[in-house]
Structure 1
Amino acid sequence: MHAIDSAPREQVVGSNPAAHADPYAPFPVTADPGAWGLTHAVVSTSDGAAVVHHRPGPDPLLLLHGVAGSWTTWTPLLRAADGVADRGLVLVDLPGWGSSAAPPAPLDVDASARVLTAVLDGLGIVSVDVVGHSMGAFVAMHLAVTEPARVRSVALVSGTTVATADAARHPLRGLRTLPAFTLLRAGLAIVGEAARPVLRGIARVGLLPLVASPVFTHVRRLHPSVLDAFVDELRPTGFTGAARSAARYDLDGWGAVTCPVTAIAGRDDVFARVSDLDALGALLPRVRTVLLDDCGHFAHVEHPDAVARVLGLA
């Protein structure tokens, strides 16, 4: 079976913005599943219904969105990833995210892993390579803990891992270590779902780039569809629920993960710290870490060509 390659730890891609041969954020976000031959399905699970876009094929790849994301957030990477042309694909909107209906309460990490297990069972998929962004990276690691025989490899793309879990547990310390995450969590906890119409209003008056600028290194070079998706996919209740789950999570359990892990981080990421790469190296027995210059929290959108190459998908 094919798995994402594991290599020696710490590779830095690009020493300055001009070092990238690839254009920044070259592709739009699209909601057209037909471009990749994806079939729409709804899988009922004990933790809620999940909308799934999938394509049967060998060596399936499971792609997990983060906060302010859905299956569509992966479409720039799919555009860059010629290596997925003949592979199976599974893109899941977890309950409460994307097009999936919200469950009575936000899913924690355990419930998210159960949903994914049910989806894979429903599709008859025995083993997968898993790629997760942000919150999805956290869930991907937990799936590798709970389903070690099923997960062949894990890739963390702009993953919120060690520093984020620490900031969620210790908000006062988080104000120093991850102020953007900590302040966003506090703000969303106060305003709740009212944040979504507020963001839409900000977008209408043309100020969304100012609000989104901490998340992306070059916000004004993004295709408009990227910022539209950022607004449409934000789920304040889900965000605060995910933060609570991360605060309770014991990261030491990741030490049991024996499959290859690749962690890709952006040097400008305000929701994670570059030091997470070293911390993951101490936690995981088999990890390759890659640091992308000129990159914020959406590496697969900002530098999809580089991410595809790192993961052996180009």
Structure 2
Amino acid sequence: MHATDSDPRPRVVAPTAYAPYPVSPTPDTWRLRRSVVPTATGPVVVHHRPGPEPLLLLHGVAGSWSTWTPLLTAAHGVGDRGLVLVDLPGWGSSPAADGPFDLDDVARVLTTVLDALAVPTVDVVGHSMGAFVGMHLAVAAPDRVRSVALVSGTTVATAAAARDPLRGLRSLPAFTLLRAGLAVTGEAGRPILRACARVGLLPLLAAPVFTAVRRLDPSVLDAFVEELRPTRFVDAARAAARYDLERWGAVTVPVTAIAGRDDVFARRSDLEALRAIVPQTRTVLLDACGHFAHVEKPDAVARTLGLA
């Protein structure tokens, strides 16, 4: 996870099987222990195990710790390395904090978790919003982060679309329309999705997010429905809109950015734009992959990050 690449073009990884593993929310499979860590913003649920060179895995807006299980399967449980999988405040089993989603608060939550687990430093792997959080953690607590991997990260284009929704309709229509829809429905969006799942419409609604939605194991879409938090999605978009991405220029650790060629929540140009801010970024583009690279192409992601 510490390699760098001087070639400015994204490396294209050879094809691998599409979504070969289910989402499996069984902590014992990976020898994970569930803990509840008190933090300044409220309790946070963590699944973890001790070990050398620990990984901190940060999910996206439609995820929790279990969303990482296809990658853990591909990476053979990442050997004997330590693992820290956090349900961020307001997602998974962690209750939402009072007030809006705040990246500085989240960074403090993560350092509190690491302190509670006696983990001094981590390699961070973040998906979507979790990638954004991971980059901010590297800015806010640089002594705790050894490297950052962005898996289908929502970065430059997403922040721009969040700042200017009218332009976002042209540049990232799927993200912009979903944000607008969830802002209207609020938490009522979750029972609507469940109702769509019951009548078989969920694959149609989720199709923009995944390259081949009908090839997914049913557990993937089940998790997508259960883990989406409409209010927190909108809060996270507002936080991205307020954020100064130039702060990432202070990041000095190795950064790897993995993107799917078919991702409708990010643009391929984000890889180049990210390198302009963080020159040491190694970029990788995955064919036949949408916004959930760690679910759709887990073997390729594991190999790229040196986990398999």
Question: Does TM, normalized by the shorter one, top 0.5?
Answer: yes
Distance 1:106 1:270 in 2: 26
2:5 maps to 1:7: yes
Q: Specify the code of the residue in structure 2 equivalent to 1:175.
A: L
Q: Which runs of 5+ in 1 are unaligned?
A: none
Distance 1:144 1:189 in 2: 30
Q: Which runs of 5+ in 2 are unaligned?
A: none
Distance 2:235 2:72 in 1: 29
Q: CA deviation at 1:109?
A: 1.2
2:280 maps to 1:286: yes
Q: Which aligned pairs between 1:127-206 and structure 2 lie closer than 5 A?
A: 127-206=121-200
Superposed CA offset, 1:22-71 (max 9, x none) = 21000000110000000000011011211000000000000000011000
Distance 2:212 2:45 in 1: 31
Superposed CA offset, 1:152-189 (max 9, x none) = 00000000000000000011000000001101111111
Distance 2:118 2:37 in 1: 12
2:40 maps to 1:46: yes
1:305 pairs with one of 299, 302, 307: 299
Q: Which aligned pairs between 1:268-279 and structure 2 lie closer than 5 A?
A: 268-279=262-273
2:121 maps to 1:122: no
Contact 2:19 2:295 in 1 (8 A): yes
Report the number of matched residues: 307
What TM-score do you get using the length of structure 1 for normalisation? Answer: 0.96
1:89 aligned partner: 83
Q: CA deviation at 1:107?
A: 2.2
Distance 1:83 1:235 in 2: 27
What TM-score do you get using the length of structure 2 for normalisation? Answer: 0.98
Contact 1:4 1:129 in 2 (8 A): no
2:216 maps to 1:219: no
What is the Cα-based RMSD across aligned positions, in Å? 1.1
2:60 maps to 1:66: yes
1:231 pairs with one of 225, 231, 236: 225
Q: Specify the code of the residue in structure 1 equivalent to 2:234.
A: T
2:93 aligned partner: 99
Contact 2:41 2:98 in 1 (8 A): no
2:242 aligned partner: 248
Distance 1:141 1:48 in 2: 23
After superposing the two structures, state which structure 1 stretch, 151-160 or 281-290, moved more: 281-290
Q: CA deviation at 1:83?
A: 7.1
The runs of at least 4 aligned residues of structure 1 exceeding 6 Å deviation read none
Distance 1:60 1:298 in 2: 22
